[in-house]
Amino acid sequence: MKLQENADLRLHSTMRLGGRARWLAEAENEADVERLHDWAKQKNLRCLMIGQGSNIVWRDEGFDGLIIVNKIMGRVILAEDKSSVIIRVGGGEDWDGVVAWTVENGWSGIEFMSLVPGTAGAAPVQNVGAYGGEIADVLTELAALDTRSGSFGTIIAGACGFAYRDSRFKSQDKGRFMICNITLRLSKHPPQPPFYEALEQFFKQNSITDFTPATIRQAVIAIRTAKLPDPKKVANNGSFFTNPIVDSAAFEKIKSRYADVVGWPQPSGSVKLAAGWLVEKAGFKGVHDTETGMATWPAQSLVLVNETARTTADLLKFKEKIVNKVQEMFGVVLQQEPELLP
């Protein structure tokens, strides 16, 4: 294990903003995680584990503690039968690489989350999801270091507190657990329609009727690459806001003023609004903000792009412009999806 002092956190966020960490080290196995956590505890330092930084916004003040970068690899088949397979994946594995591997094997369950940036260990934190699928649908358990007790343990899916783009790891237990591996149950049966609206449209336009994990992955990749920038080339955190959920009365009030409002009824009777539609309607489609150096991606207004911003304060100032305008117009408060750390 090599400890790096005064590490540049801009290199550990795809938004490429933020201050410096007092210490940073990579963990290649659970023993590394335990040793690094113990070292930080002995030094009375705060300790955080991260993946690729695709869902992180670092504060300009930096982090006066130890950052552990999850580099735990491994893909193992634990069990399988005629209908399903159970796999364990190292928390440091590239998520899309894992998706590609499962699709190559003909397993279904996470192909909807193709091209989602980040690591496997970070996926449960915000209950990663896309195009009708989410990690909560397939995760059976995960292994993590509990920083309170200093010991490793297994957390079953039912105890993860999964909700829309949320989990206990993002809310009440934020920063408590260092996820080292995840276990997924995938199907050997082909995915069945109906699919997410964008996928249905793609299949119809391209006359696709053979639905397999591979055709789903190909469709998702085509849709995502047409709408979203590659974080390796363009500094961004993907969708910056979650789709807000409002009660039916609030939705009808908005609809009375904006007949083209986009929303999806929920089983509870509430309505999930399209945050991208709200941002566009508020006048932020393809905006280049010279004051902050931030912009919205032309093909998807939910994506905030760092063009020339120098600080996280610039990003947050631009974010507030959007949030305030949307609240003024619709009475809806947009919630930031990437984590603001520490």
Q: Could you give the residue numbers annotated as active site?
A: 165, 239, 337
DSSP state of 232: T
In the chain, the largest separation of any two C-alpha atoms, in whole Å, equals 61
C-alpha of 66 from chain center: 22
* DSSP letter for each residue of 265-303: E-TTS-EEE-HHHHHHHTT-TT-EETTTTEEEETTEEEE
User: Regarding beta strands 84-90 and 75-80, do their DSSP bridges make them parallel or antiparallel, or are they unpaired?
Assistant: antiparallel
Instruction: Please give the torsion angle defined by the CA atoms of residues 126, 116, 247 and 322, in that order, rounded to the nearest 10 degrees.
Output: 100
- Rounded to 5°, the CA angle 76-81-87 comes to 20
Residue type (1 letter), 150: G
Q: Which residues contact 43 (CB under 8 A, 6 or more apart)?
A: 66
The residue with tokens 């999930």 is 272
